Chain A
Amino acid sequence: MSSAEFTKSYIRLIIMAWIIPALFGLSFLTYIEILTVDQLTGIMTTPTEPAFITLWMIFAYWYFKRYIRPITTYLEHPDEVNGAAALVCMQKFPLHFWFLFLIYLLTAPTSVILSAEYFTEYVPQPVDWFRIHLVALIVSIIVGLPIFFIMLDLFGNAASNLNLSRPHITIKTKVFMIGALVPLLIDTMIVQYYWTRTGFFTFETFVVWLVLEILAIAGSLIFVRSFTQSLSPLHNLVTESPDFNLLSSANFKPCSTDEIGVLTLNFRRALDELHQHKNNLEELVDERTKELQRLNKELEAFSYSVSHDLRTPLRAIDGFSQALMEDYADKLDGTGHDYLSRIRGASQTMAELIDDMLQLSKVTRSELLKERVDLSSVASEVIENHKLVEQDRNIKINIDHGLICIADKNLIMIVMDNLIGNAWKYTGKKAIAEISIGKQQVDGKDVFFVKDNGAGFDMQFENKLFGVFQRLHSTEEFSGTGVGLATAQRILHRHGGTIWADAVVDEGATFYFTV
């Protein structure tokens, strides 16, 4: 519903609420012969009565147009804040409407009588005061109540997209209006008939009227109570808690045998079932979590034992081969020495493999502690370490300044160590090696890179690059275990980043990554 449509319907209804009772009331007064046609014409041609009705209409138009501004604002800009304001406005509307309407009801008959008294020859009797006010009451209920309900429905349409966490105009309110006003209307009509017939206001007629009114009010209260009782489970449901999970089925007992009673019972069953499912689910999650924790512990124990137990025999293999070479050198020929050094070489390779695998599993297990990391200084540190080990290399290093990222420092150091280590290793056969470390902007994201002019690789095998134990060069050409890039990728994935490469055989490789 658009704001303009809403305003149009709403203003039309307000004008109807103010003009129809006036016209209908005056015609009815004539019909039941409280006023004659001449008297009515006289009253309507006085300066006061038309002015009175017109001024009231202008006032009501101005007042309510201003009043519904939060709703029209919400319809133009439907956001949460405007929605909340619109709901408050809708909630307070019955109060404002009936307050102004009742003042109108009290002043309108008075104005008719006063206009008649001052500007026409008709002189109202004291009983006419009561009769005319009663007519105003009947008319206003007959006309005002339906118009009021049409307005509530109009609000309901405008509220179709609102976030209703609790009721703003309750069914209880609506029932109360009908339950209180309709019996009042019927009684008043009976009294009106009685008075029209007897023609005067006496103590007897007053008592009859009073008894009827008391009965009507008592009856309407009973009527409202019955409805309220039926509705109470529904009312509890929407007012108790907006959170479905916090609802307790114990609070929803059917209080009637009608549709709402059945609905309450069904709702209660559904709620019980839901809670049961939820508990089952929680149990299941608990169970699975425990299972996962157990598996994780097992994995940790496994890594620990790999770290400790697999290395111990290797040390013995290496150590005793060495002892053999030293202590029994004279009993071994060249081939024997060669075999022993092969045994030592293999055991050391296996030790490296074990270390790399352990690092890979550690990377997956350890918790991420993100902080601001200066990749430029990390890169310099890694380069310095390599320079210490291999001092005679001719390498041109270029590290851009201010390469900053947010990451776990220990883990990102492993990434840089692997990437720079690779660049260092694969440029080993170049006369002049070049390694550059820098940053590019791609789609507003920082993409870091490590570029070398080394051996490169065939892009055809790109998909094997990050697999565990996958190598694109033979161990003879370049040493390595094939775990470094897998580790780097796993670290970057854990940070929500990614890594990819670009390379040309014998011209170099560039590894790009985001964190």
Chain B
Amino acid sequence: MQKTILLVEDNPNDEMLTIRALKKNNILNEVIVARDGVQALDYLFAEGEHEGRNMSDQPQVILLDLKLPKIDGLEVLKRIKTDERTKLLPVVVLTTSNEDQDLISSYQLGANSYIRKPVDFDQFIKAVGQLGLYWLVLNEAPPSA
């Protein structure tokens, strides 16, 4: 079965562009979109609207924006990395910010990678392509629980 990608992104433009960039790179995995921190956590922990979801079917990689409504990206990252059930999931921080503080906090909380979204769409496609290739094809995911 094809592994999924969890895209946590509140901006519909960025969501569309990211999905387009994935398609352009022939990454056809299913993309699940969460539009705020609460939705993302609900999905991962099968709570709220996702209650009853099969927890063993977790995404291959989580693309996480930092600036999110309700619960912000760093908090989402912290909860993922401190919970036994999800701490092995690879999290790629995909954000507009390149403030040192965000970089440091993300890595301290256990982010696996940190990518700044370029404005130039060609470069954006390249970046998404490379991270898709790396995390979905090259990288061996940890065995699911």
- A residues whose Cβ falls under 8 Å from a Cβ of B: 303-304, 307-309, 311-316, 318-323, 344, 347-348, 350-351, 358
Contacts and interface: CB of A to CB of B under 8 A. Distances in A.
A266 to B, nearest CB: 56
A347 B17 CA distance: 16
Given A312-B96, A315-B121, 11 more contacts: A307-B98, A308-B96, A311-B117, A315-B13, A315-B96, A315-B124, A316-B13, A316-B14, A319-B121, A319-B124, A351-B120
17 contacts: A304-B97, A307-B98, A309-B96, A312-B96, A313-B13, A315-B17, A315-B96, A316-B11, A318-B119, A318-B120, A319-B13, A319-B20, A319-B124, A322-B121, A323-B17, A347-B119, A358-B98
Contacts of A350: 119
B95 interface: yes
A308 B122 contact: no
B119 A322 contact: no
A312 B120 contact: no
B67 interface: yes
A363 to B, nearest CB: 13
B68 to A, nearest CB: 11
B113 to A, nearest CB: 19
Contacts of A320: 13, 17
B99 interface: yes
Contacts of B13: 312-313, 315-316, 319-320
A315 B121 CA distance: 7
- Which of A311, A313, A323, A358 gathers most chain B CB within 10 Å? A311
Contacts of B120: 318, 344, 348, 351
A316 B120 CA distance: 10
Contacts of A314: 119
Interface string B114-144: 0001111110100000000000000000000
Given A308-B97, A311-B96, A312-B96, A318 B121 contact: yes
Contacts of B20: 319, 323
A513 to B, nearest CB: 25
B119 A315 contact: yes
B67 A308 contact: yes
Ordered nearest first, which 3 A-B pairs have the shortest CB separation?
A351-B119, A316-B13, A319-B17
Nearest to A355: B98
Nearest to B117: A315
A312 B120 CA distance: 11
A319 B120 CA distance: 7
A358 B20 CA distance: 29
Interface of B: 11, 13-14, 17, 20, 66-67, 95-99, 117-122, 124
Contacts of A358: 98
A321 B66 CA distance: 25
Contacts of A311: 96, 117, 119
Nearest to A327: B20
Contacts of A316: 11, 13-14, 17
Given A312-B14, A315-B117, A316-B14, A322 B122 contact: yes
A201 to B, nearest CB: 100
Nearest to B11: A312
Contacts of B67: 308
A315 B11 CA distance: 11
A357 to B, nearest CB: 13
A312 B121 CA distance: 12
Contact of B14 (A315, A322, A323): A315
Contact of B99 (A304, A313, A322): A304
Nearest to B17: A319
A298 to B, nearest CB: 15
B119 A308 contact: no
Contacts of B119: 311, 314-315, 318, 347-348, 350-351
A311 B120 CA distance: 10
Given A316-B13, A316-B17, A307 B96 contact: yes
A319 B96 CA distance: 14
Nearest to B20: A323
Contacts of A308: 66-67, 95-97
A316 B117 CA distance: 11
Contacts of B99: 303-304, 307
Nearest to B95: A308
A413 to B, nearest CB: 15
A511 to B, nearest CB: 27
A311 B14 CA distance: 11
Contacts of A321: 121
A304 B100 CA distance: 10
A150 to B, nearest CB: 74
Nearest to B18: A319
Nearest to A352: B119
A344 B121 CA distance: 9
Contacts of B11: 312, 316
B16 to A, nearest CB: 8
Contacts of B118: 315, 351
- Which of A309, A313, A315 gathers most chain B CB within 10 Å? A315
Contacts of B17: 315-316, 319-320, 323
Contacts of B98: 307, 358
Contacts of A318: 119-121
Contacts of A312: 11, 13-14, 96
A312 to B, nearest CB: 6
A350 B99 CA distance: 18
A306 B95 CA distance: 13
A323 B20 CA distance: 9
A358 B119 CA distance: 15
